[in-house]
Amino acid sequence: MQVAIDGPAGAGKSTISRAVAKELGFLYIDTGAVYRAIGYKAGRLGIADEDEIVRMTQKTELTIELQGGDQHILLDGEDVTDRIRTPEVSMAASRVSAIAGVRSALVELQRRIAGKSNVIMDGRDIGTVVLKDAEVKIFLTASCEVRAKRRFDEMLEKGQDADFESVLKDMQERDYNDSHRAASPLKKAEDAILCDTTDKTLEESVKMLKDYIEREFEKYVC
Ligand code: DC
């Protein structure tokens, strides 16, 4: 069984997907981490040329591992799980993810992981490209201001320096980049349902998705 969850940054995809996957006993895969790892490596090596970034991606060894139920990402054998969660890496990930050669190099890896068990996979092109045949497809969204506020609160909670206006500006820029790129832009798959979490708490959103996924699965079990 495959569940594809797509949507813009900050819609709550990873928090909600992780919670629903836990309740249903599914594997949860956050595909943003692979783009973040490539963006991080390009920045660390100071590579800006697109062809060079594609060559670098093809030569990069990326592994997704589960450690105590949490996803860890290994970049050429080095665990970079925490280091890829900075605003700089978010922007770098958005930039490298617009390069078609980078995307094609990473799609196979994502499909291989999804083939291993019942999975909930989140990203931007899961329902439209990576898992086109997923049994359940959800497009999760919320207003840009609410998404920026959630990200801002999250940063404060982690004790990070944060300024709401710049979080909002980054969010708008990423939304624009992710949905206007030529290669697999962020968009709702025709057969996905739209879930708007603007006015919902985390608990309400988790319940809404879990109930929907269970109802959909009943159709396949019969
Ligand atoms: O979900 P995230 O914020 O960690 O993703 C980081 C960037 O990676 C995001 O700006 C767009 C890109 N991305 C993508 O293009 N396709 C995916 N399946 C997942 C993420």
Q: Please give the distance, rounded to the nearest whole angstrom, from the Cα atom of residue 218 to the centre of ligand 1.
A: 30
Q: Is 28 helix (H, G, I), strand (E, B) or coil?
A: strand
Atom of ligand 1 minimally distant from the CA of 130: 18
> What stretches of 31-142 adopt beta strand conformation (E)?
62-67, 70-75, 78-79, 119-123, 136-141
Residue ranges in 98-201 assigned as alpha helix (H): 100-114, 144-157, 164-180
CB of 31 closer than 6 angstroms to any ligand 1 atom: yes
Among protein residues, the one whose CA lies closest to atom 4 of ligand 1:
32
Q: Summarize the confidence of residues 138-160 as an average pLDDT.
A: 94
* pTM beyond 0.95, yes or no: no
Nearest CA to ligand 1 atom 10: 94
Measuring CA to CA, how many Å separate 143 from each of 6, 19, 90, 175, 210? 15, 22, 19, 11, 22
Measure 53 CA to ligand 1 centroid, in angstroms.
Answer: 16
The helix or strand, by DSSP H or E, that contains position 141, with its residue range, turns out to be strand 136-141
pLDDT band at residue 206 under the 50/70/90 scheme: very high
Q: How confident is the model at residue 222 (pLDDT cuts 50, 70, 90)?
A: low
Residues 23, 20: Cα–Cα separation, whole Å: 5
**Ligand 1 touching residue 35 (CB < 6 A):** yes
Q: Smallest Cα–Cα separation from 5: which of 119, 145, 105?
A: 119
- Cβ atoms 4, 212 nearer than 8 A: no
Structure confidence by residue, pLDDT tens digits, 4-25: 999 998 899 999 999 999 999 9
